[in-house]
Amino acid sequence: MGHPAYERRFLSKLNGDYRINQCYLTISLGEEYNKAVYKFIAGIIELDGTQTHERI
């Protein structure tokens, strides 16, 4: 699972690798589910001063 605002930004594009500006990520760790533990991107702060956040 990625960050919703960034997912929407790239959903219309073909599958592939895309670059974003340098940024800081806030990572949340999920609880174990089906013997796996997941990491979620909770916030993205691009170093150009743009902050992208949403309540999920």
Question: 35 vs 2, 11, 30, 38, 48, CA distance in Å?
Answer: 20, 29, 12, 10, 38
Confidence at 36, pLDDT banded by 50, 70, 90: very high
CB of 27 within 8 A of CB of 41? yes
Tell me whether residue 41 is exposed, middle or buried, using C-beta atoms within 10 angstroms of its C-beta: 0 to 12, 13 to 18, 19 or more: middle
Query: Does pTM surpass 0.85?
Result: no
Helix (H, G, I), strand (E, B) or coil at 32: coil
Q: Residue 19 pLDDT > 70, yes or no?
A: yes
What are 11's two structure tokens? 């959903």
Check pLDDT > 50 for residue 20. yes
Calculate mean pLDDT across residues 7-24.
83
